[in-house]
């Protein structure tokens, strides 16, 4: 299928060929990072263990949070895989590895020693394991590997995504020429054309990618529960790296993108059905767990849901969000620094007000409003200081926010900018 054929076979939705920048993917990335702010605010209020907890902790939000868990980070890793393809094609393997080291490692180091420590301080204070006094705590946090507490310090907490992405980029860099040949091979191009051109091919596009995740779920997941600790997190690595590779293969295959467009109605229908079933299972967990058939439907359904909602969001973004504007350009630059800052703000503000006697909704509004304001102000301040731009994942010398849109015809190689904002 030629480039023009791929475009002609797309639905009349304005979805663009894979060789043109996917603004919809930018919007998805923005949306997922912003959703993390709401999700981690919810972690302060739900009944699961976390760095700080409200005295009003309850399970009201948990079913909605569980429904977001299967797909939020997998979608981010898939988007990262798409961006890796564009950026590595632009830079070459060696420059790509050097660029990732320069752009991500300072973020990790600064995050572990400056951004994250207030989270550990709040957690240890709530647990009664340290006395008040920031500097006494920080000297031990920064000066002793694996600190004097059960809590491992220094740590990266929510920045584990950055750590894993950094490692995956370095691991993949030496084999990028091979991956590029594989992604552009006649076999995968043919599979893309088949997925775009027939009902059977489309069914395969929806079903076959589920197989590795089913294998991971029923082989590695129970043996290696998720830790975000890098060295013992093998099921999570298998899952996340598979998503990165999916994104890499998908990135420039016009047939696969056309299949994403065509899959939208089916994927959305399956997703809605699974949302209803999984919500019922989560809210009736004891009954569902007591019935083997219902339990297995939930286990498998969770994996199917992960993939179909990702397909739904990709298709919807291509259909309705494939447009540029000053808001997209601003948020594309801002959302990663917001991600770096947000959890420390949530935990610190939550720790500060948990004993103040506020009601649960007052606490929620204070934490959410303070976090959003802190992220916005923090970005505006930090983007004006070159050295701090570097440790917040922004280009050290280039402007953080552009206001002029590039001509449509010049955008083909620029999806790698999505990753360059990471």
pLDDT tens digits along 295-344:
999 999 999 999 999 999 999 999 999 999 999 999 999 999 999 999 99
Q: What is residue 21's predicted lDDT score, i.e. its pLDDT? A: 64
Q: By mean pLDDT, which of 37-41, 60-64, 226-230, 393-397 is the weakest?
A: 393-397
Token look-up 């990135």 returns 251
- pLDDT (mean) for 119-127: 96
**How far apart, in whole angstroms, are the C-alpha atoms of residue 200 and residue 44?**
46
Q: What is the pLDDT of residues 19-72, one digit of tens each?
A: 456 899 999 999 999 999 999 999 999 999 999 999 999 999 999 999 999 999
Beta-carbon count within 10 A of 141 CB: 24
Structure pTM? Answer: 0.89
Query: How is residue 391 written in tokens?
Result: 């440790």
Q: Which pLDDT band holds residue 395 (cuts at 50, 70, 90)?
A: confident
Q: Which pLDDT band holds residue 152 (cuts at 50, 70, 90)?
A: confident
Q: What is the pLDDT of residues 160-175, one digit of tens each?
A: 999 999 999 999 999 9
Query: How is residue 36 written in tokens?
Result: 């993390």
Q: What is residue 151's predicted lDDT score, i.e. its pLDDT? A: 86
Q: By mean pLDDT, which of 140-154, 195-209, 311-325 is the weakest?
A: 140-154
Q: What is residue 397's predicted lDDT score, i.e. its pLDDT? A: 59
Percent of the chain residues past pLDDT 90, beyond the cut = 85
Q: What is residue 10's predicted lDDT score, i.e. its pLDDT? A: 40
Q: What is residue 410's predicted lDDT score, i.e. its pLDDT? A: 39
- Look over the chain and give the mean of its residue pLDDT values, rounded to a whole number: 90
**H helix count then E strand count, the chain:** 20, 0
**How far apart, in whole angstroms, are the C-alpha atoms of residue 155 and residue 274?**
36
Does residue 412 surpass a pLDDT of 90?
A: no
Q: By mean pLDDT, which of 110-114, 302-306, 355-359, 395-399 is the weakest?
A: 395-399
Contact between residue 384 and residue 377 where contact means Cβ atoms under 8 Å apart:
no
Query: How is residue 302 written in tokens?
Result: 């969770």
**How far apart, in whole angstroms, are the C-alpha atoms of residue 180 and residue 195?**
20
Token look-up 């299949």 returns 259
Closest CA to 321 of 17, 62, 28, 18: 28
**How far apart, in whole angstroms, are the C-alpha atoms of residue 105 and residue 351?**
29
Q: Which pLDDT band holds residue 373 (cuts at 50, 70, 90)?
A: very high
Q: Which pLDDT band holds residue 406 (cuts at 50, 70, 90)?
A: very low
- 6 vs 285, higher pLDDT: 285
Does residue 249 surpass a pLDDT of 50?
A: yes
Q: What is residue 269's predicted lDDT score, i.e. its pLDDT? A: 98
Query: How is residue 315 written in tokens?
Result: 């298709």
Q: Which pLDDT band holds residue 396 (cuts at 50, 70, 90)?
A: low
């Amino acid at each position: 299928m030629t480039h023009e054929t791929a475009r002609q076979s797309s639905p009349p939705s304005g979805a663009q060929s894979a060789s043109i920048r996917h603004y919809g993917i930018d919007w998805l990335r923005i949306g997922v990072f912003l959703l993390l702010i709401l999700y981690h605010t919810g972690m302060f209020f739900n009944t699961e263990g976390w760095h700080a907890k409200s005295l009003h902790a309850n399970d009201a939000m948990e079913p909605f949070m569980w429904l977001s868990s299967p797909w939020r980070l997998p979608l981010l890793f898939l988007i990262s895989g798409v961006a890796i393809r564009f950026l590595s094609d632009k830079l070459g393997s060696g420059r790509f590895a050097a660029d990732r080291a320069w752009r991500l490692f300072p973020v990790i180091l600064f995050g572990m020693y400056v951004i994250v420590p207030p989270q550990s301080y709040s957690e240890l204070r709530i647990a009664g394991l340290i006395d008040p006094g920031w500097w006494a705590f920080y000297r031990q946090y920064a000066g002793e590997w694996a600190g004097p507490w059960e809590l491992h310090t220094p740590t990266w907490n929510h920045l584990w995504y950055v750590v894993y992405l950094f490692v995956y980029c370095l691991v993949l860099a030496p084999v990028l020429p091979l991956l590029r040949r594989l992604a552009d091979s006649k076999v995968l191009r043919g599979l893309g054309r088949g997925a775009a051109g027939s009902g059977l091919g489309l069914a395969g596009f929806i079903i076959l990618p589920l197989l590795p995740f089913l294998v991971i779920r029923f082989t590695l997941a129970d043996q290696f529960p998720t830790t975000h600790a890098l060295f013992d997190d093998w099921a999570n690595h298998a899952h996340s790296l598979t998503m990165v590779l999916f994104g890499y293969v998908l990135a420039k295959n016009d047939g696969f993108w056309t299949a994403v467009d065509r899959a939208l109605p089916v994927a959305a229908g399956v997703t809605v059905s699974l949302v209803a079933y999984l919500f019922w299972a989560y809210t009736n967990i004891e009954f569902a767990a007591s019935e083997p058939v219902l339990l297995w439907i939930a286990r498998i359904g969770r994996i199917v849901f992960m993939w179909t909602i990702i397909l739904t969001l990709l298709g919807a973004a291509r259909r309705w969000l494939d447009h540029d504007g000053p808001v997209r350009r601003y948020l594309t630059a801002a959302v990663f620094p917001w991600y770096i800052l947000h959890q420390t703000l949530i935990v610190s503000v939550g720790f500060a007000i948990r004993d103040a006697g506020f009601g649960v909704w007052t606490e929620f509004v204070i934490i959410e409003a303070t976090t959003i304001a802190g992220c916005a102000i923090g970005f505006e301040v930090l983007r004006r200081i070159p050295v701090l731009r570097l440790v917040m994942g922004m280009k050290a010398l280039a402007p953080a926010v552009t206001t002029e849109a590039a001509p449509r015809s010049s955008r083909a190689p620029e999806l790698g900018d999505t990753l360059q904002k990471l």
